[in-house]
Amino acid sequence: MAATNAVMTQPVIVKICGLSSPETLLAAIAAGADMAGFVFFEKSPRHIDLETARTLGLLAQQRISKVALTVDADDDALDDIVEALAPDYLQLHGSETPERVREVKARFGLPVIKAAGVASAADVEAARAYEGVADVILFDAKPAPDAAVPGGAGVAFDWNLLRGVTAKDWMLSGGLDLENVAEAIRRTRAPAVDVSSGVERARGVKDAAKIAAFVKAARLS
């Protein structure tokens, strides 16, 4: 899960998710982030259209790994996203089953990050169904049943629940920011971290200084 799609080789991989402008993408690159996440989900304030995806994809090329985040997207939508962004990873952040993950991997030949919402030990156990199917499992705070979007709410969960994680490659997300990321890494030994709202100055609006500070804090952990 490195910036070159190789197996993880760095102490902590950092993903900045929900980037939507050239300025904030360049800020993530300058800060030394490994992965840039782009959201394709219209209900999200971080959603980008295909034209923006083409622009950002070209800007990111060979400089940072590109991750396309979708929520229960069908094949036609994924076709369009892959054509526009040329992502290095597909992130499935909805209710996709292990079978659907296999289908997506087979169709596109890209590594898949599968998000798993966590509120209890049972949720962590349920995520084991994706081991050996998804290339990376991303543990995020489980959204409320009536939540409009499945992530990016700035909510953390009990990190102690991850003590039983057996996945080889996994990421920690949910409520991370520059103040708590080092402690989160220390307590969970997460090999990778993902942040979105924790580096924003307003909902859906990334802050370059916060991006730089987050990456620095993660790397100093």
Which DSSP string corresponds to 106-175? HHH---EEEEEEESSHHHHHHGGGGBTTBSEEEEEEPPPTT-SSSS-S-----GGGGGG---SSEEE-SS
Q: Which residues, 6 or more positions from 74, have their beta carbon under 8 angstroms from its beta carbon?
A: none
Q: Which of 17, 135, 169, 194 is catalytic?
A: 17
Q: Which of 88, 140, 177, 194 is catalytic?
A: 140
From the number of C-beta atoms within 10 Å of its C-beta (0-12, 13-18, 19+), residue 194 rates as buried
DSSP assignment letter at 199: G
Q: What is the number of other CB atoms lying within 10 angstroms of the CB of residue 146?
A: 5
> Is 72 an annotated catalytic residue?
no
Do residues 218 and 185 make contact, with C-beta atoms less than 8 angstroms apart?
yes
Secondary structure of residue 76 in the 3-state scheme: helix
> Is 17 an annotated catalytic residue?
yes
The catalytic residue positions are 17, 140
